[in-house]
Amino acid sequence: MGYYNIQEEKVFNSGHAACPGCSEALAIRYIINTLGPDSIGVVPPSCIAIISGPQPLSSMRMPVYQTTLEASAASATGISRALKAKGNDHTNVVVIAGDGGTYDIGFQSLSSAAERNEDFIYVCLDNEGYMNTGAQKSSSTPYLAYTTSTPSGKPTPKKNLAEIMAAHRIPYVATATTGYPEDLARKVARAKELKGTGLRFILVLTPCLDGWGVADHAGPKTSRLAVETGVFPLYEVEYGERYTLNFGSKGTPVQAYLSQQSRYKHLRPEQIQEIQSQVDANWERLRERFSVP
């Protein structure tokens, strides 16, 4: 047991290749240490593949299959069905993919796996861009954020993947972030508990120090501000209908979140106000979901 009250089995090890202070390493720790060693991982090209380790090294005490960028959900399907055919009902199959491999190129296979309700856990470590290739825009990149492929700021909003996945009416959809590790670990444990019911999807916001322009020590703080400002509320959805709010907006102005990150440093005051209005509107829209009896 560490600083937090989280039960961990040591599957993820030190000596991995993540940047110092990386939020993804933290997320991976709580994900696979919660799932335990009776698990098989699927990882597409991403920072996660780097963290997982080059041959013959591995930072994870579990088998990991590194697949192609668009095929994670299909690859996990193959493992899950083969285990079923062999009568194995205990081994967890977990995809850990980035937002490029999930929101963009991997979305077709993910949507199909959700429609078929395949029995595995899909975790998207969302750092809002192709950070492993040097910070290009993905469809998860937020409105007006700088990336190397949107040097003037992204002209369109972030795709709402949690809601899209909820619309597939799979057993479990959750949002989480590394600033709330106990909440993250609890959601992974919940997803593990729901093995046998079908696809379980967890979207984890993981601030990228380099890609977002965040100080080395400021990953968790930035993550908490994303929640407190209402930019990234933490909630769960069961079967597309039962919504539970875990941590939502505290009414903190969005500027407090944006000012932590150099990817927003080009913003004019009216642009910050525009983002504030969008965040407020999104938060109001989401709140309606929780008011259903």
Partner 1 sequence: MSGERILVNGNHAAAYGVRLARPMVVPVYPITPQTPIVEKISEFQAEGQMEVELVTAESEHSAMSACITASLTGVRVFTATASQGLMLMHEMLHYASGARAPIVMVNVNRTIGSPWGFWPDQTDSLAQRDTGWIQYYCESGQESLDTILQAFRVAEKVLLPAMVVHEAFYVSHSLEVVEVPAQELADQFLPPFTPPHRLDPEIKESWGNTVNQDMFYRHRKTLGEAMDNALAAAKEADADYRALVGRGYGIIEEYRCDNPEIIIATMGSMTGTAREAVDELRAEGLAVGLLKVKLFRPFPLKDVRRALTGVPKVVVLDRNFAPGTGGFLHQEMKAALYGMSDGPEVHGYLAGVGGTNIPPAKIKDMVREALAEKAAAEPVWKG
Kindly state whether residue 66 participates in binding partner 1, applying the rule CB under 8 A.
Answer: yes
Rg (CA), the chain: 18
Helix (H, G, I), strand (E, B) or coil at 255: helix
Which range, of 31-39, 122-130, 193-201, 203-211, touches partner 1 by CB under 8 A? Answer: 31-39
Kindly state whether residue 33 participates in binding partner 1, applying the rule CB under 8 A.
Answer: no
Helix (H, G, I), strand (E, B) or coil at 216: coil
Q: How many helices (H) and strands (E) does the chain have?
A: 10, 8
Kindly state whether residue 196 participates in binding partner 1, applying the rule CB under 8 A.
Answer: no
Which range, of 57-65, 168-176, 198-206, 261-269, touches partner 1 by CB under 8 A? Answer: 57-65
Kindly state whether residue 119 participates in binding partner 1, applying the rule CB under 8 A.
Answer: no
Kindly state whether residue 46 participates in binding partner 1, applying the rule CB under 8 A.
Answer: no
The residue within the footprint of partner 1, chosen from 23, 33, 109, 223 (CB under 8 A), is 109
Which class for 86: exposed (0-12), middle (13-18), buried (19 or more C-beta within 10 A)? exposed
Kindly state whether residue 42 participates in binding partner 1, applying the rule CB under 8 A.
Answer: yes
Which range, of 32-40, 126-134, 231-239, 241-249, touches partner 1 by CB under 8 A? Answer: 32-40
Cα(53)–Cα(102) distance, integer angstroms = 21
Kindly state whether residue 28 participates in binding partner 1, applying the rule CB under 8 A.
Answer: no
Other Cβ atoms less than 10 A from the Cβ of 206: the count is 28
> Half-sphere exposure of 228 toward its Cβ, with a 13 Å CA cutoff?
14
The residue within the footprint of partner 1, chosen from 8, 9, 13, 81 (CB under 8 A), is 81
- Separation in Å, CA 177 to CA 98, 122, 188: 14, 15, 12
Q: Looking at beta carbons only, is 89 or 115 nearer to partner 1? A: 115
Other Cβ atoms less than 10 A from the Cβ of 256: the count is 11
Cα(91)–Cα(272) distance, integer angstroms = 46
* Residue 225 C-beta: closest distance to partner 1, Å: 34
Chain contacts with partner 1 (rule: CB under 8 A): 37-40, 42, 49-50, 52-58, 61-68, 70-71, 73-79, 81-86, 91, 108-109, 111-112, 115-116
